[in-house]
Amino acid sequence: MIPKIILGKGPQATRRTIGYLFGKGRANEHIDPHLVASWNGFAPDPGRSPHRDPKDVEAQLAAQLDQPVKMLGDKAPKYTVWHCPVRAAPEDPILTDAQWADIARRIAAAAGIAPKGDEEACRWVAVRHADDHIHIAATLVRQDGRRPQRDYDIRAVQREARRIEVDYGLRRLKPGDGTVAKRPTSKEHFKAKRLGQDATSREILRLRVRRAVAAASTEAEFFALLETSGVTVRLKLGPSGDALGCNFALPGDTNDKGEPVLYAGSTLAGDLSLPKIRQRLATTTPEPVALRPGNPWHQATAATERIPHHLALSDDAVAQGQLAALGGALDLLPLTAPAAVRTELERAAVAFERATRSRIAADHASARVLRRSVQALWKDPARHGDGAGLAMLLDVALTAVAYAMHWHRTRQHAQQQAAAEQTLIHLQAAYAQIAGPVLAGLASRAPSPQTKRRYAHQLQQAAPEQAERILDDPAWDALATVLAEAEAAGHNPTTVLDRALSQRTLDDAHSPARALTWRIRRLGERHAPGPRAQAANASHTTQDAATPPPRQPPQGQRR
């Protein structure tokens, strides 16, 4: 159940609200609007007054609601209307008018609008439009002329909604911590539909601003990227002329006066205000860390592979910084990916956005290597055109997101945990599409049975506790291929295996052979051996024929 509080102001605020509640709606979606509850139990109902002009009844109802406000005259508060739509989930049972009336009373009481038993509380009504929702509207002056005590009403209403879900057997939403990004309004949804947009302007802007933050190294580059993506930026300047904040707009998104519809960064998401963006960019500039020349896919993969270590062993600030950087990587990844998987990766990025924020302050400096490597990858994604680079990165990202889910769970971040769970679904779908053809291509170039037996023997020596599981893995042929390629490039396969096994445990890997395949391919390409290693490898190769095949495990011990 989702309640949402909206405040109204102006001399006609109550009349406008009542007119909207009993009107046809912006898309003719209001069906049979009628009162289910009111402050006194007998307020005039424009939807159930067949012998009177509905407009006259609306005016009468608005006047009764407004009476305490009008009594204060010039001393009335700035905001005079409290409006709270309450919507059930599509799968919830259809509630009766009496049940919705009870819910309305509980929400109004929790918000401080009409505490139970308080006869001098604010005047309010609850209007039902359809099976799945009501609107609660109240005026913000009590009948005794005082203001209602509605401190932290948003949190109080959300807490009561969680209790209502339990009492009525409704879908139970995850409790939040106040860091969720502001959702689009129904008006924004209707406008997007009218314009033929798949998403609202708020959602489009949030994604574009997040991508610009992830891709930029400086504030100037951030604004340049926004301009390139078609976002209009208007800075809010202080008396000194310095920029204190910024608003964003999409071209062609205008109000009824033809003016651009501007969204402040902080209203797109809590971490997209200009001060927060500057804080992120301050730890991304080139000076603090210089990346070694090399394959950006490898560097991004290595940095992502370290995220589980930080989530398990580092302090919370560092862990939060790692999650924010991972979110930036996922924001940029669709721009480097084949069209076939772009949609799933975009969905993963949108889902994980919720998992990047909590009440814990992030140490962004701890994740600057990941951000810099992803920026390099975004600027030159052409390497590994066969998809191996993306498959490597997605493989370790899946583990990182699984650790993020556990990290949030242990800290009771319910919404963030759910977001990470949803992210895994989309990443797994993208990974299957990318990794399948790459692994099949590698397996088709598998070395000779004799060479595979030698590698199997070396594997049993290097990782006896994991060997059986790896040899039974469908990706074993692909692993043998990258070992052969590394050996052909001058590496000692035993050394490469040892290094790959030491990078991180395979205990939590869904496919240990697949994980080793990506690690060894990365090691084989990043670490070119010197002349001594080349000579040792040549000597090792001449003895290959004399190497006895490894003893097979007794029948029944292998899976």
How many CB atoms are located within 10 Å of the residue 361 CB? Answer: 11
In this prediction, residue 376 carries a pLDDT of 87
Q: Rounded to 5 degrees, what are φ and ψ at 176?
A: -105, 180
Whole-angstrom distance, CA of residue 247 vs CA of residue 62: 35
Whole-angstrom distance, CA of residue 350 vs CA of residue 331: 8
Query: In which residue are the tokens 């993963």 written?
Result: 348
User: What does the angle CA 265 – CA 373 – CA 483 come to, to the nearest 5 degrees?
Assistant: 145
Whole-angstrom distance, CA of residue 196 vs CA of residue 265: 24
DSSP 8-state secondary structure symbol assigned to residue 81: E
DSSP 8-state secondary structure symbol assigned to residue 254: B
How many CB atoms are located within 10 Å of the residue 524 CB? Answer: 23
Whole-angstrom distance, CA of residue 397 vs CA of residue 506: 15
Whole-angstrom distance, CA of residue 423 vs CA of residue 347: 8
Q: What is the pLDDT along the chain (559 residues), one digit of tens a residue?
A: 888 899 999 989 999 999 999 988 765 567 889 999 999 999 999 999 989 999 999 999 999 999 999 999 999 999 999 999 999 988 999 999 999 999 999 999 999 999 999 999 999 999 998 889 999 999 999 999 999 999 889 889 999 999 999 999 998 887 777 788 888 877 888 888 888 888 999 999 999 999 999 999 999 999 999 999 999 999 988 888 888 889 999 988 888 888 899 999 999 998 999 999 998 888 755 544 455 556 788 889 989 999 999 999 999 999 999 999 999 999 999 998 999 999 999 999 999 999 999 999 999 998 998 999 899 888 876 655 568 889 989 999 999 999 999 999 999 999 999 999 999 999 999 999 999 999 999 999 999 999 999 999 999 999 898 899 999 999 999 999 999 999 998 999 999 999 888 877 787 677 889 989 988 988 887 655 555 544 544 444 444 434 443 433 333 333 3
How many CB atoms are located within 10 Å of the residue 87 CB? Answer: 17
Whole-angstrom distance, CA of residue 504 vs CA of residue 399: 11
Q: Is 25 left (phi over 0), alpha (psi -120 to 50) or beta?
A: left
Whole-angstrom distance, CA of residue 348 vs CA of residue 419: 9
Whole-angstrom distance, CA of residue 540 vs CA of residue 194: 70
Can you give the pTM of this predicted structure? 0.75
Q: How far is CA 171 from the centre of its chain?
A: 21
In this prediction, residue 52 carries a pLDDT of 92
Q: Rounded to 5 degrees, what are φ and ψ at 115?
A: -55, 145
At residue 83, the 3 state secondary structure works out as strand
In this prediction, residue 529 carries a pLDDT of 52
Whole-angstrom distance, CA of residue 542 vs CA of residue 535: 11
Strand partners of residue 243: 237
Q: Going by C-beta distance under 8 Å and a sequence separation of 6 or more, which residues neighbour residue 290?
A: none
